[in-house]
Amino acid sequence: MNELTNKLISALSEAEIGEIEAEIRHLPDRRSAAIDALKIVQNHRRWVSDASLASIAHLLDMSTAELDGVATFYTLIYRKPVGEKVILFCDSVSCWIMGGDKICDRIKSQLKIAYGETTADGKYTLLPVTCLGDCDHAPAMMIGDDLHHDLTNENVDTLFGGTND
Amino acid sequence: MWTPYLGGQMTDLPLTRNIARGKAPTDLTAYEANGGYSAARKSIGQSAPEELLEVIKDANLRGRGGAGFPTGMKWSFVPKPDIQNSPGHRYLVANADEMEPGTFKDRLLMEFDPHQLIEGMLLSAYTLSADVGYIFIRDEYHVAIKRLKDAIGEAENKNLLGDRILGSEFNFHLHVHISAGRYICGEETALLNSLEGKRAIPRAKPPFPQVSGLWGRPTIVNNVETLCNIPHIIDNGADWFRSLGLGSDGGTKLFGASGRVKNPGCWELPMGTTIREILEEHAGGMKDGYRLKGFLPGGASTDFLVEEHLDLPMEYESIMKAGSRMGTGTMIILDDRTCPVGMIANLEKFFARESCGFCTPCREGLPWVQQILDSIEAGEGKLSDIDILESQTRFIGAIGNTHCAHAPGAMEPLASGLKYFRDDFVRHIENKQCQYTSGGA
């Protein structure tokens, strides 16, 4: 394992613990911060490893199994490594009507991944997401924190630089 | 960039009075310059909470999140504060988890006028004697989260939030909770479980959240748009609010249209505006070469309506009488070149995926429905499949057979789709293929 991998699965950092404790301060008990804590750690490490999960559970005075039950319920908590950026592609109805599925197929073929997979270079992970609330600009997707909409073959090609037709 | 509807006169379209195409989001200075926080300044510590509750009841404001429950009545179920016998916090939660497919209205309100929501929450909390508030917002709304947090900071600095607000005895602390996905979080008791850091599984009712909600304490959960109406009602009175509507429902509403219309978007219009006006005037009618085949009036979990319903006013009762629900008021348009079976298959895939898995009819029934629809769409269906789908709409579509309203909501577009587009289902099965080329996959 390289240094980065070690860092990603090691016990919680002081910064992470500090942020988690700040959330706990306005909650009536420690375990209520479960989702906040998972997201804080994920923000630092991109995903939540078994080791991170056990550390968070210890910090929140919960069993690891109970916390994993919470973590695996939510689609935006990643229990497997993800790429540098996660692409959340809207597969809900308005985007579907506007041809979103075909746009998504193009992305899949350009990046050579299916839903749930990460590109070979580790840059992108592709996931479907429920309606992004941008239906008047369908089809829409997020790349990391950025919203991209009114998607066409042309702007997808520009984004991912591929011409795999 | 978002292109909101050009807000009209200040009093006629209160919710979007600070929102216009090309206009910057409203900060505290701009919000106050346009009359913002005047309702809070004249009420906090000045009016009795009971008086404000009466105004909201008189206004006949109904919940804008989909169910349309009268807000004043919902609030009146909260027990009066009793510090001696029932000490502890009382909570107000803004449901900003906008995830109903086809819905894009609360994002607009939060991104472009965050103080309107904050003032709405402040006044609501004062009315309910709530001392802690949460804005439960979906993670993907990064821009709204940033602007809300900045706005909360501005309000705290001016003593509009925090302790002894505006010199009164009233304290209200407001936090932003960023969610981690799952549509079911929009169900108010699932939302409460999620806020408590648990899996978002709906709770059995009773007890209702008003009595035993967040951490077992009295809690009110309201949709963002509902809360944004509160300052204007307090400022201008119940009669004014009721007069804004064209028919039986008071106020204005953010209506929207998406799909193959010329000008998809979101507009604040009087409650009771006809569907035809929204579609033809505001959305500009269908795109050239497309005809209207049907539409979902208020999000994925509402029944299809068709051309004969175009002259109905968008208000709770009239849409209910036509066999659907106004829901969120943001319409999804089905055109004649997009496959209705494919569209319904897409909707049911969404509902199946978003089932929380707690009760069997929903967890098992929705994927079954999805598989049947996928096979019909792929030309592998049998005529008897239609009977199975219909029996499912009656079985998991009936309130009471499932733990919450998720599966019944899922059955609304399916049941109405089988009614209005039955020929399409039969043609897919008899021809062993889908004959549509546009839209979808």
Regarding whether A96 and A30 lie in a shared domain, the answer is no
Q: Could you list the beta-strand ranges (E) of B51-161.
A: 91-96, 132-137
Residue pair B43/B60 in contact (Cβ under 8 Å)? The answer is no
Residues of A within 8 A of B334 (CB-CB) are 97
What are residue B109's phi and psi, to 5 degrees? -65, -40
For the stretch B127-156, pLDDT in tens is: 999 999 999 999 999 999 999 999 999 999
d(CA B124, CA B287): 42
Nearest to A131 among B103, B194, B334 (CB): B103
In this complex, do A93 and B197 lie within 8 Å of one another by their Cβ atoms? no
Domain that holds residue B302: 252-335
**Token pair of B120 as six digits:** 């709405």
Q: What is the DSSP letter of B214?
A: G
Let me know if residue A79 belongs to a domain: no
Select from A88, A96, A132 the Cβ nearest to the Cβ of B346. Answer: A96
Instruction: Name the residue facing A32 among B196, B347, B441 (closest C-beta).
Output: B196
B24 shares its domain with B154: yes
Instruction: Give the other-Cβ count within 10 Å of A50's Cβ.
Output: 11
Based on the domain organization, do A56 and A8 belong to the same domain? Answer: yes
**CA-based nearest distance A23→chain B, Å:** 10
Q: Per residue in A79-104, pLDDT tens?
A: 999 999 999 999 999 999 999 999 99
Strands B132-137 and B91-96: parallel
| Residue B287 and residue B264 in contact, taking contact as beta carbons nearer than 8 Å | no
Q: What is the ipTM of this complex?
A: 0.94
Same domain for B330 and B365, yes or no, is no
Contacts of A28 in chain B (CB under 8 A): 89, 215
- What mean pLDDT, rounded, does chain A reach? 92
Between CA A35 and CA B374 the distance in angstroms is 34
**A137 and A108 in one domain?**
yes
In a domain, B86, yes or no: yes
Range of the domain at A50: 3-71
Q: What is the pLDDT of residues B44-101, one digit of tens each?
A: 999 999 999 999 999 999 999 988 999 999 999 999 998 888 889 999 999 999 999 9
Domain end (from B216, B244, B272): B244
Q: Which two tokens stand for residue B46?
A: 């000045």
Q: How many domains does chain B have?
A: 3
**Cα-Cα-Cα-Cα dihedral of B319, B322, B324, B326, to 10°?**
-10
**pLDDT band with cut points at 50, 70 and 90 for residue A64:** very high
CATH assignment of the domain containing A151? 3.40.30.10
Same-domain status, A63 and A90? no
Dump pLDDT digits (tens) for A108-120.
Answer: 999 999 999 999 9
pLDDT at B10 over 60: no
What are the tens digits of pLDDT across the range B207-231? 999 999 999 999 999 999 999 999 9
In order of A96, A97, A150, B38, B334, the CA distances from B102 in angstroms are 11, 11, 15, 34, 12
pLDDT at position B294 is: 98
Can you give the pLDDT at residue A161? 77
Residue A5: pLDDT band (50, 70, 90) is low
If asked whether residues A42 and A95 sit together in one domain, one would say no
Closest CA relative to residue A130, chosen from B156, B418, B352 = B352
pLDDT tens-digit map of B23-38 = 899 999 999 999 999 9
Which of B1, B139, B224 to mutate to test binding with chain A, by most A CBs within 10 Å of its CB? B139
